[in-house]
Amino acid sequence: MHQHEHTKAVLNRMSRAIGHMNAVKKMIEEGRDCSEVLIQLAAVKAEITNTSKVILKDHLQHCIVDAVQQNDEAAMQDLMQAIDKIV
Ligand SMILES: [Zn+2]
């Protein structure tokens, strides 16, 4: 089981983002103003980005610190690939 210091906070953030996404979906179903929808979608995107930051920091502080100490090249390569996709 791979758990981190902020796993619970990450799960709470995920629940909030999912709730927010559903609210935006409802706005679209109700034919709400596109500019309002876009602003809310941007807010959801920011929530997701912030959640990624929490996961990345947890991963750096624990898994990657361990990987460096154990000379685990694979864990570092995996992180490099993830960074290429998230940045
Ligand atoms: Zn990790």
The rounded distance, in Å, linking the Cα atoms of 70 and 57 is 19
Q: What is the pLDDT at residue 87?
A: 83
Distance 33 CA to ligand 1 centre (A): 40
Residues whose beta carbons lie less than 5 angstroms from ion ligand 1? 59, 63
- Residue 80 in tokens: 């490099």
Cβ neighbourhood burial of 4 (10 Å; 0-12, 13-18, 19+)? middle
Q: Looking at domain 7-86, what is its CATH homologous superfamily?
A: Metal-sensitive repressor, helix protomer (1.20.58.1000)
pLDDT higher than 90, residue 2? no
Q: What is the pLDDT at residue 3?
A: 83
pTM, rounded to two decimals: 0.87
Domain boundaries, the chain: 7-86
* Mean pLDDT on 5-22: 97
